[in-house]
Amino acid sequence: MKTKLLLITLLFATMPAVNAQNRERDYLKKVFANLEKIESATYYVANESWQPGDSTALSILHGFIKEYNHPIDSTIGASYVSLDAKDTTKLNFCYDGNVRVEAYHDNKKLVIDDFTFKPLPFRLVRPPFFNFAKNIIKYALTTDDNITIELKDEGNDYYFKLTINEEQQVEFFGKAFHMPLPPFDIGNTTSIYELWINKSDNLPFKERREMSHDISVSTCSNLQINKLNIRDFNINDYFPKDYETVKYSDLHKKSGDSPSTSGLTGQKAPGWILENIDGQSLSLANCKSKVILINFTGIGCGACQAAVPFLKKLKELFSNEEFDLIAIESWSHNASAIRNYAKRKDLNYTILNATNEVIKQYQTGGAAPFFFILDQKRIIRKIIRGYSTENTDKEIINAIKELL
């Protein structure tokens, strides 16, 4: 009898939690159904990028988006064009299910990628807002992965949080993909996705993605639904007539993932004057060590962060007269973010804020990490692209010792 009473008590104790979970799932199904009704959408979007622990965004980009549901595309499942928020005739990026096109306005080029160069199991296309939100909710409702979900009433909105506790990080390129682990420790593999859903139309208007190395936030406004027809969408209509078109494969096939820097080996390193985290200017000409390692890095770059412990040890291996290490931050020009990064990583070497000119001179194309090893005459003796624990460490140390 006591056993029966205990079982009944436990059953009633678990009922509120079960009912709450059912209500959460029912509401998410309702939001998903609303998202499925969107055949097209136009909206303004603000995309922000953050580093974990920062209080200041690395970058804030504003755009005007034309998004189309495109179920024939079995990869992303959407087509879209991203235009300048202030000049909605000016192309930034577009994807039509066959190619992605990125506009480089500084040199009037359109880079076209047909995904035949180094094919991946997914397409590296940032999904448009509503496609992204739809796939997050679909995953939350159908996955067998280890997840937790949370739904809160915040007055005018609902707040939804999806936490994915898997051994690999999960990214959404259309559907969910478990990302292969890189050859270095990325720390926590937990993936977190958050949505803010407007009660008035039961549609998301803000999303946040958090990984151990990177946080991004997108907020959309001025939404108009189903005013456009995908049959009228022609990617060529957005191409500036005076821009040169370049194939992604032609641009990168000689050097893998980055512009070729091989022509710089054996050449005098381009001079520069850049600012450090205290706003003070430092020039290459004033660096007096026999050997200098210049590391082009990116605050949000996982491989760059993985290299930091080695670089800190490297700085201690040699005297200041023998060797100096200078990092050049090429992903963010936000001085506050660079300063916070240096403090958070407890850097014992100099980090400078890049300019577009120095990135162009060193031909990195903004890619990171790059390591340039200079001799006493400031001739570039070795260039290393990318970072792999131990292999890159040995390669750099050996190159420095050969020059001392």
What is the per-residue pLDDT across 138-196, written as a single tens digit (0 to 9) for each? 999 999 999 999 999 999 999 999 999 999 999 999 999 999 887 777 778 999 999 99
Dihedrals φ, ψ of 84, to 5°? -65, 135
Q: 380 and 300: one domain?
A: yes
Q: Torsions phi, psi of 29, nearest 5?
A: -65, -35
Judgement on whether residues 149 and 226 belong to the same structural domain of the protein: yes
Q: How far is CA 184 from CA 75, 164, 304, 305, 379, in A?
A: 28, 21, 10, 10, 30
Which of 12-26, 186-200, 370-384 has the least mean pLDDT?
A: 12-26
Lowest mean pLDDT across 50-54, 318-322, 330-334 = 50-54
Q: Give yes or no: residues 125 and 45 share one domain.
A: yes
**Domain assignment of residue 106, yes or no:** yes
Over residues 31-58, the pLDDT tens digits come to 999 999 999 999 999 999 887 777 777 7
Q: Per mean pLDDT, which range of 212-226, 277-291, 336-350 is the poorest? A: 336-350
Percentage of the chain with pLDDT > 70? 92
Residue 335, pLDDT > 90, answer no
Q: Residue 20: its pLDDT value, please?
A: 67
Residue 371 scores a pLDDT above 60: yes
Q: What's the pLDDT score for residue 18?
A: 57
Q: Which has the minimum average pLDDT: 14-23, 59-68, 279-288, 349-358?
A: 14-23
Sign of the alpha-carbon torsion through 56, 59, 62, 65 = negative
**Residue 21 maps to a domain:** no
Q: 230 with 364, same domain? A: no
Whether 2 maps to a domain, the answer reads: no
Concatenate the DSSP letters of all residues of 63-108 into one string: EEEEEEE-TT-SSS-EEEEEEESS-TTSEEEEE-SS-EEEEETTTT
Q: What confidence score (pLDDT) does residue 58 get? A: 74
The SS3 of residue 347 is: coil
What integer pLDDT is reported at residue 9 of this predicted model?
59
CA angle 119, 184, 128 (to 5 degrees): 45
- Which of 249, 268, 285 delimits the end of a domain? 249
Assess whether 238 and 281 both reside in one domain: no
- Residue 133 and residue 42: Cα distance in Å, rounded? 15
Q: Could you tell me the pLDDT band of residue 365, with boundaries at 50, 70 and 90?
A: confident
Q: Rounded to an integer, what distance in angstroms lies between the CA atom of residue 400 and that of residue 9?
A: 71
Whether the Cβ atoms of residue 82 and residue 73 lie closer than 8 Å to each other = no
State the pLDDT confidence band at 340, using cuts at 50, 70 and 90. Answer: confident
Mean pLDDT of the chain: 89
Question: Are residues 210 and 289 located together in one domain of the fold?
Answer: no
| Per-residue pLDDT at 12 | 59
Q: Is the pLDDT of residue 373 over 80?
A: yes
Please report whether residue 183 resides in a domain.
yes
pLDDT at 270 (0 to 100): 95
What is the predicted pLDDT for the residue at 349? 95
Least confident of 3-7, 103-107, 164-168, 240-244: 3-7
Residues 214, 263, single domain; the answer is: no
Cβ neighbour number for residue 199 with a 10 Å cutoff:
12
307/295 Cα distance (integer angstroms): 10
Distances (CA, A) of 364 to 40, 232, 263, 296: 37, 38, 12, 8
Does residue 26 form part of some domain? no
Rounded-to-integer distance, Cα 202 and Cα 196, Å: 10
Q: Which of 201, 200, 179 is nearest to 190 (CA)?
A: 179
Residue type, 94: C
- Number of Cβ atoms within 10 Å of the Cβ of 233: 19
Q: Are residues 297 and 243 in the same domain?
A: no
CATH at residue 313? 3.40.30.10
Last residue of one domain, picked from the residues 217, 249, 281 = 249
CA distance readout (Å), 277 to 85, 151, 178, 254, 349: 31, 41, 36, 35, 11
At 288, is the pLDDT very low, low, confident or very high (cuts 50, 70, 90)? Answer: very high
Pairing of strands 291-297, 323-329: parallel
Q: Which of 144, 124, 149 lies closest to 24, judged by CA?
A: 149
Give 244-277 pLDDT, tens digit per residue. Answer: 999 988 776 544 444 455 579 999 999 999 999 9
Domain count, the chain: 2
Q: How far apart are the C-alpha atoms of 210 and 402, rounded to whole Å?
A: 42
What's the mean pLDDT in 354-380? 92
Q: Does residue 211 sit in the same domain as residue 290?
A: no
The pLDDT, as a whole number, for residue 256 is 40
16 in any annotated domain: no
pLDDT in the model for residue 127:
96
CATH number of the domain bearing residue 105 = 2.50.20.10
- Domain final residue pick, 195, 215, 249: 249
Q: What is the pLDDT of residues 227-244, one digit of tens each?
A: 999 999 999 999 999 999
- Same domain for 195 and 79? yes
**CA angle 133-139-145, nearest 5°?**
140
CA 179, chain centre distance (Å): 14
Domain coverage including residue 280: 254-400
Question: What's the pLDDT score for residue 258?
Answer: 44
Tens-digit pLDDT profile for residues 64-96: 999 999 999 999 999 999 999 999 999 999 999
| 24 assigned to some structural domain | no
- How many Cβ atoms from other residues are within 10 Å of residue 256's Cβ? 12
Nearest C-alpha neighbor of 339 from the set 60, 48, 51: 51
Q: Are residues 158 and 269 in the same domain?
A: no
Strand partners, 160: 151, 195
300 and 220 in a common domain: no
At residue 5, the pLDDT reads: 58
